[in-house]
Structure 1
Amino acid sequence: MRRIYEPENLLEGQLLVDMLASEGVAAHLHGQHLAGAVGELPACGLLGLMVGDADAERARMLIAEYNAAQPLPGDEPESFQGVLLC
């Protein structure tokens, strides 16, 4: 397995694991159980997204595309007046 990405937090890490799984790439979020120790451990570098060596390049490409995605025109609300739109 190869570490290919350092997510900022558990939420981003799990979203990426699930996105990769939907594309047929098995991934593991390494260090997810250490996040509760922040304050006692260094805050950066705890989380790492791991994939098999054969899937590393494809997974990097999928993550780059995911991070570069923009909302479709017309999908964003016209204003944010303190109302959560679901």
Structure 2
Amino acid sequence: MKKVYSANNLMEAQIVLDLLEHAYIPAQLFNQHAQSGMGEIPFTHAYPEVWVMRDADYERGKLVIEAYEKAPVATGTVHCPACGEENPANFQLCWKCGGGLEVALHQDHIRN
């Protein structure tokens, strides 16, 4: 196992975990409850961490995370092609069903 990401908060860590799993990279979240210990332990030790399960997936995982960090911030909404739920345009995965939104976002731009 290798640590691939340290997040600023639990929501960001969960997004990265979901993106990795969507890319078929098994990963695990650590320190999800450590922020309650802030003050007793160094704050850098309380950040949520995402670790890839297989060392061979480390480089590919870093590429997935790099793409996530470089993605432009989009405004507006997009409808999930899987369940039809409305999502913020900057989401890559549907908040309701976890389906990919890249295709829906692309189709919405073509229509506009």
TM range (shorter): 0.7 to 0.9
Please name the residue that 1:22 is paired with.
22
Structure 1 runs of 4+ aligned residues shifted over 6 Å read: none
Corresponding position: 1:55 with 2:57: yes
C-alpha distance in 2 between matches for 1:8 and 1:24: 24
In structure 2, runs of 5+ residues without a counterpart are 77-87, 89-112
Deviation at 1:54, TM superposition (A): 1.1
Residue identity opposite 2:4 in structure 1: I
Deviation at 1:39, TM superposition (A): 2.1
**Root-mean-square deviation (Å):** 1.6
TM-score normalized by structure 1?
Answer: 0.76
1:68 to 70, 74, 84: 70
C-alpha distance in 1 between matches for 2:29 and 2:36: 15
TM-score normalized by structure 2?
Answer: 0.60
CA deviation vs aligned residue, 1:60-80 (integer Å, no higher than 9, x gap):
0000001000145xxx26xxx
Greater relative CO, 1 or 2 (CA 8 Å, sep 6+): 1
Deviation at 1:22, TM superposition (A): 0.9
* Aligned pairs, number: 75
Aligned residues: percent identity? Answer: 32
Preserved CA contact (<8 Å) 1:6 1:45: no
CA deviation vs aligned residue, 1:14-54 (integer Å, no higher than 9, x gap):
11101111111111111112121112221113322100201
C-alpha distance in 1 between matches for 2:58 and 2:44: 22
Deviation at 1:2, TM superposition (A): 0.4
